Amino acid sequence: MSRERYRAAAAVLGDRAGTVVEDAVLDVEDGMIAWIGSYTDAPPYDGELTRLAGLVAPGLVNAHCHSPMTLFRGLGEGLPLDRWLQEVMWPREARLRPADVTAAMRLASAEMLRCGVTTSVEMYVYADAVAAAVHETGARAIVMAPLLAAPGWEHLGTLEEQLERAARQAAEAETDPMIEVGIGPHAAYTVPLDILGRAGELARAHDMMLHIHVAETEDEAAELEAEHGLSVPRLLAEHGVLGGRVLAAHCVWLDDADLDVWAAHDVAVAHCPQSNAKLAAGIAPLRAMLDRGIRVGLGTDGPASNNNLDLWEEIRLAAQLARLRALDAQALSAAEAFWLATGGSAAAVDRPDLGQLEPGRAADFCHVDIDDVAFIPVESPSDLLTHLVWSAGSQHVRDTWVAGRRVVADGVCLTVDEAAARAEVRERSAALAR
* Spatial separation of the C-alpha atoms in residues 42 and 7, rounded to whole Å: 10
Nearer to a copy of itself, 15 or 111 (CB): 111
Cβ neighbours of 394 (radius 10 Å): 20
Nearer to a copy of itself, 374 or 414 (CB): 374
Nearer to a copy of itself, 50 or 395 (CB): 395
Which residues have CB under 8 Å from 315's CB, separation 6+?
A: 298, 337, 338, 340, 341, 388, 389
Residue 260 Cβ, how far from a copy of itself at the closest point, in Å?
25
Residue 393 Cβ, how far from a copy of itself at the closest point, in Å?
8
Residue 344 Cβ, how far from a copy of itself at the closest point, in Å?
18
Nearer to a copy of itself, 72 or 124 (CB): 72
Nearer to a copy of itself, 274 or 356 (CB): 274
* Spatial separation of the C-alpha atoms in residues 99 and 431, rounded to whole Å: 12
Nearer to a copy of itself, 176 or 372 (CB): 372
Residue 102 Cβ, how far from a copy of itself at the closest point, in Å?
16
Sign of torsion over alpha carbons 273, 111, 89, 278: positive
Nearer to a copy of itself, 367 or 428 (CB): 428
Residue 316 Cβ, how far from a copy of itself at the closest point, in Å?
8
Residue 395 Cβ, how far from a copy of itself at the closest point, in Å?
4
Nearer to a copy of itself, 33 or 104 (CB): 104
Q: Would strands 296-298 and 365-368 be described as parallel, antiparallel, or unpaired?
A: unpaired
Rule CB under 8 A: which residues touch a copy of itself? Answer: 70-75, 77-81, 84, 107-108, 110-111, 218, 274, 276-283, 303, 306-308, 317, 319-321, 323-324, 326-331, 333-334, 371, 373-374, 376-377, 379, 382-383, 386-387, 390-391, 393-395, 418, 422, 425-426, 429-430, 433
Residue 350 Cβ, how far from a copy of itself at the closest point, in Å?
29
Whether 159 and 165 have beta carbons less than 8 Å apart is answered as no
Residue 247 Cβ, how far from a copy of itself at the closest point, in Å?
24
Cβ neighbours of 205 (radius 10 Å): 11
